[in-house]
């Protein structure tokens, strides 16, 4: 087992807006070790979220000269679409600024949805009791045991983000990718959420890459990298 | 798994998918109602056509063939054949009371035998009725009147035997039974019963036929007076406006087709005998002569098969009838060969009419099918809008690891459920309408004066309908399929959404 879990080398990503090519990442390189908490600091529009999406397999680098990303030795930029789906389901947990919970599902169902996607219909049915137990445990750990049957619309912002974190952790992913997890919360709630993430990290040694523009949030990480003009610098 | 859960939630939390289900429901119901009514109409025509000719007819026109009793005995000995009866079919003319007259299609039959082969007994109109017709709520049908019952029973018996006994004349007379529409002496009421302007049973009519000689050349027209025994209603206007039934023996005599004695050359061919001419006293050679009997002839034998309602069985009865006729022709040298004789099923006889109705059904179904295609576009429009609205959900699912196929299946499955719900509801709605189509029609007539199927025009007192389960299954399956097709493009759109853009969707 190597110490490096995720390695992004010379990542380039260009978006096309109308007739104009807008380069967002211009050769970003970042390496994340197992159990490490890396905070990516950068101004708005610096490409933080794009970097996270590429690392999480939600997007791919440019076809030509787009660089490479390897996860546990596997080249994410070259694997098939199905394998990338599997990677997102099994190895990565996403936490977004705007929570991104499914509004029609209850809190418990939102957390279980991740397991449903990973295990498929029959796998989920077989392990249903165990999976449901884990989802309840996670939600209880985040202080939401009384909210299992509620819809996201009935929760506060902090509660929604806790549900999103529980969902991200449901499949016990090796890598947690958080995109401005406190960006939509008031300071106090944001601090609570970060404290909970820190406790989780202490307890489980979870690898975390957290994108933020808040230096105080970034200060909780093991390492801070800065993203400027599409490049990473320490 | 997540697809099933999301489908259930989308179904119960949104109004739009219910609109899609309603669109499918309406199209399914419309198709099913039209197919059931047209199918019922077609069945009614077929049954009416079958009612007066049986299943298969053996016909040799115009001379007819002899020894038909033997043919009937051979036919009735076969397990495929239930009954057979002789008949003569010919053109004629009738003069009616009030100096009315018209060309007719004359059918000479043996009443009881004819009733065994056809639904003749049920088709006789003037007979006592215990219960009124469905729409005759005011019980105005004269056949219901108790004071007419005895007389009507006499006419019913007279109709069955085609023999009428007049009160003033103890001799039974060969009689005729006219189609109910002949001469327009009966006025058909909206409730389906007939109000006789002139009650024809008991009246005399003149029937004319043109017999032919042994070379099929027409001879002078021959007319005879017959009392009307009853009237018959088959359900086919063309038949009820032209067909006259007459007792077989009477028509045989009119057409010179009855048993007859004639003088024929006797002895062996070319043999002559010496004989003294009593007038001249001279001896001369003459060919010997003898009396021979020509057997009675008929132009047709009508056959009723066992369980010949279905086309394959009907075809089997026809084939068997043909085979039996071949054996019969081989046994009798003086009957036409099978190749000269026409073997027709009731479907063959009414092929033009049945074909027209079947083509109309196909045409109407095609038109309504095209209209139903709109349900595909309705589902497409509704799903397109829903997929757009749920773009972020697609992004969330993709971020959690859902593949393109899984996302596409979510929407296809959703379309399938909408289609199934719509199809089942449409089936239930159609079944309810078809089951109650006559009460609904009556209510429309009472409440708004809308009478679409007027029995005076459409010649049936009740709207016919029949729900055939395989047809219902096709329509229901088509409804569900239309919904899936409608959901296909939105599903592909959802599957191809860029997850990053989807997550940023506002």
pLDDT mean over B427-438: 87
Predicted confidence (pLDDT) at residue B167 exceeds the cutoff of 70: yes
Q: Do residue A59 and residue B499 have CB atoms under 8 angstroms apart? A: yes
Query: Looking at residue B308, what is its pLDDT?
Result: 66
* B311 and B323 Cβ atoms separated by less than 8 Å: no
pLDDT bracket for residue B93 (50, 70, 90): very high
pLDDT bracket for residue A1 (50, 70, 90): very low
* B214 and B162 Cβ atoms separated by less than 8 Å: no
* B301 and B294 Cβ atoms separated by less than 8 Å: no
Distance CA B456, CA B191 (A): 9
Predicted confidence (pLDDT) at residue B177 exceeds the cutoff of 60: yes
Q: Which two tokens stand for residue B380?
A: 């497409």
B1 vs A103, A105, A121: nearest CB: A121
Q: Do residue B499 and residue A113 have CB atoms under 8 angstroms apart? A: no
For residue A58, which residues of chain B lie inside 8 Å, CB to CB?
Answer: 398-399, 499-500, 503
Give A78's contacts (C-beta < 8 A, 6+ positions apart): A68
Give B188's contacts (C-beta < 8 A, 6+ positions apart): B194, B455, B456, B459
Predicted confidence (pLDDT) at residue B11 exceeds the cutoff of 70: yes
Q: Which long-range contacts (CB under 8 A, 24 or more apart) does B444-448 make?
A: none
Task: Measure in Å the smallest separation between the Cα of B401 and chain A Cα atoms.
Answer: 4
* B193 and B180 Cβ atoms separated by less than 8 Å: no
CA distances from B257 to A128, B248, B263, B297 (A): 89, 10, 17, 5
B444-496 pLDDT, tens per residue? 877 887 777 665 556 566 677 777 788 888 889 988 898 899 989 999 999 99
For residue A119, which residues of chain B lie inside 8 Å, CB to CB?
Answer: 1
* Beta strands, E only, B259-405: 260-265, 273-276, 283-286, 289-294, 297-298, 300-305, 342-345
Query: Looking at residue B314, what is its pLDDT?
Result: 84
Distance CA B433, CA B30 (A): 10
A113-168 pLDDT, tens per residue? 999 999 988 888 999 999 999 999 889 888 888 888 999 999 988 889 889 989 98
- Top mean pLDDT of A64-68, B91-95, B373-377 is at B91-95
Note the helical H segments in chain A: 48-55, 81-90, 107-126, 128-141, 157-169, 187-204, 215-218
Backbone angles phi, psi at B374, to 5 degrees: -60, -30
ipTM exceeding the 0.85 mark = yes
Distance CA A233, CA A28 (A): 9
A117 vs B4, B402, B498: nearest CB: B402
Q: Which of residues 373-412 of B touch A (CB under 8 A)?
A: 392-393, 395-404, 406
B328-368 pLDDT, tens per residue? 999 998 889 999 999 998 888 777 777 887 888 888 888 88
Chain A residues whose C-beta is within 8 A of a chain B C-beta are 53, 56, 58-59, 81-82, 85-90, 92, 94, 96, 100-105, 109, 113-114, 116-121, 124-125, 167
* B228 and B185 Cβ atoms separated by less than 8 Å: no
Give the mean pLDDT of chain A.
Answer: 87
Distance CA B306, CA B216 (A): 36
- DSSP letters of A177-226? EEESTTTTS-HHHHHHHHHHHHHHHHHH--EEEEEES-HHHHTTSSEEEE
Predicted confidence (pLDDT) at residue B241 exceeds the cutoff of 80: yes
For residue B1, which residues of chain A lie inside 8 Å, CB to CB?
Answer: 116, 119-121, 124-125
Query: Looking at residue B341, what is its pLDDT?
Result: 93
pLDDT bracket for residue B262 (50, 70, 90): confident
CA distances from B72 to B113, B120, B253, B302 (A): 11, 19, 21, 9
CA distances from A3 to A36, B136, B297, B453, B494 (A): 10, 94, 110, 85, 38
pLDDT bracket for residue B79 (50, 70, 90): very high
pLDDT mean over B256-282: 77
Q: How many helices (H) and strands (E) does chain A have?
A: 7, 10
Q: Do residue A101 and residue B503 have CB atoms under 8 angstroms apart? A: no
Give the mean pLDDT of chain B.
Answer: 86
A202-214 pLDDT, tens per residue? 888 889 999 988 8
Predicted confidence (pLDDT) at residue B90 exceeds the cutoff of 60: yes
pLDDT mean over B220-234: 92
* B123 and B109 Cβ atoms separated by less than 8 Å: no
Query: Looking at residue A2, what is its pLDDT?
Result: 52
Query: Looking at residue B60, what is its pLDDT?
Result: 92
For residue A105, which residues of chain B lie inside 8 Å, CB to CB?
Answer: 5-6, 9
């Amino acid at each position: 087992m190597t110490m490096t879990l995720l390695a992004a080398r010379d990542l380039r990503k260009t978006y096309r807006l109308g007739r104009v090519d807008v380069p967002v990442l211009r050769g970003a390189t970042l390496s994340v070790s197992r159990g490490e908490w890396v905070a990516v600091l950068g101004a708005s529009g610096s490409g933080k979220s794009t970097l996270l999406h590429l690392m999480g397999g939600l997007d791919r680098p440019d076809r030509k000269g787009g660089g490479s990303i390897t996860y546990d030795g596997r080249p994410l930029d070259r694997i098939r679409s199905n394998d990338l789906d599997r990677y997102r389901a099994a190895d990565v947990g996403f936490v977004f600024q705007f929570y991104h919970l499914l509004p029609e599902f209850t809190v418990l169902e939102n957390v279980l949805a991740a397991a449903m996607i990973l295990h498929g219909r029959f796998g989920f049915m077989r392990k249903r009791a165990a999976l449901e137990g884990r989802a309840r445990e996670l939600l209880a750990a985040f202080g939401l045991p009384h909210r299992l049957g509620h819809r996201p619309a009935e929760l506060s912002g902090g509660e929604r983000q806790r549900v999103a974190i529980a969902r991200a952790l449901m499949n016990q992913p090796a890598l947690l990718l958080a995109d401005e997890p406190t960006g939509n919360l008031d300071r106090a709630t944001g601090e609570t959420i970060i404290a909970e993430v820190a406790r989780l990290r202490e307890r489980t040694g979870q690898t975390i890459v957290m994108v933020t523009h808040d230096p105080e949030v970034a200060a909780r990480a093991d390492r801070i990298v800065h993203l400027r003009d599409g490049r990473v610098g320490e | 798994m997540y697809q099933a859960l999301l489908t259930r939630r989308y179904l119960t939390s949104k109004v739009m998918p219910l609109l899609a289900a309603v669109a499918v429901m309406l199209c399914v119901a419309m198709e099913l109602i039209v197919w059931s009514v047209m199918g019922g109409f077609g069945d009614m025509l077929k049954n009416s056509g079958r009612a007066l000719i049986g299943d298969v007819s053996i016909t040799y026109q115009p001379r007819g063939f002899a020894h038909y009793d033997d043919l009937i005995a051979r036919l009735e000995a076969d397990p495929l054949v239930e009954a057979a009866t002789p008949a003569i079919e010919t053109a004629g003319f009738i003069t009616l009371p009030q100096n009315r007259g018209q060309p007719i299609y004359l059918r000479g039959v043996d009443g009881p035998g004819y009733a065994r082969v056809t639904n003749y007994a049920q088709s006789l109109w003037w007979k006592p009725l215990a219960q009124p017709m469905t729409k005759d709520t005011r019980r105005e049908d004269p056949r219901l009147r108790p004071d007419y019952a005895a007389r009507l029973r006499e006419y019913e018996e007279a109709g069955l035997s085609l023999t009428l006994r007049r009160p003033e004349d103890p001799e039974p007379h060969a009689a005729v039974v006219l189609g109910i529409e002949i001469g327009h002496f009966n006025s058909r009421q909206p409730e389906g019963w007939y109000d006789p302007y002139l009650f024809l049973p008991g009246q005399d009519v003149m029937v004319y036929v043109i017999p032919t000689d042994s070379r099929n050349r027409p001879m002078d027209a021959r007319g005879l007076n017959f009392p009307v025994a009853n009237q018959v209603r088959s359900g086919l206007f063309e038949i009820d406006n032209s067909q006259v039934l007459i007792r077989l023996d009477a028509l045989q005599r009119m057409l010179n087709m009855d048993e007859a004695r004639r003088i024929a050359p006797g002895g062996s061919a070319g043999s002559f005998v010496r004989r003294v001419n009593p007038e001249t006293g001279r001896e001369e050679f003459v060919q010997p002569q003898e009396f021979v009997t020509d057997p009675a002839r008929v132009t047709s034998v009508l056959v009723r098969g066992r369980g010949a309602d279905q086309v394959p069985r009907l075809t089997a009865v026809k084939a068997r009838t043909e085979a039996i006729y071949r054996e019969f022709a081989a046994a009798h040298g003086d009957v036409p060969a099978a190749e000269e004789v026409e073997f027709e099923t009731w479907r063959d006889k009414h092929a033009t009419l049945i074909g027209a109705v079947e083509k109309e059904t196909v045409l109407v179904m095609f038109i309504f099918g095209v209209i139903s295609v709109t349900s595909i576009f309705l589902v497409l429009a509704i799903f397109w809008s829903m997929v757009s609205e749920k773009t972020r959900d697609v992004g969330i699912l993709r971020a959690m690891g859902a593949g393109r196929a899984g996302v596409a299946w979510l929407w296809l499955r959703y379309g399938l459920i909408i289609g199934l719900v719509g199809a089942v509801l449409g089936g239930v709605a159609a079944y309810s309408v078809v089951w109650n189509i006559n009460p609904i029609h009556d209510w429309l007539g009472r409440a708004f004066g809308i009478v679409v199927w007027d029995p005076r025009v459409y010649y049936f007192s009740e709207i016919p309908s029949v729900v055939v389960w395989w047809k219902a299954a096709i329509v229901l399956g088509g409804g569900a399929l239309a919904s899936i097709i409608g959901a296909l493009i939105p599903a592909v759109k959802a599957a191809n959404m860029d997850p990053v853009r989807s997550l940023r969707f506002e």
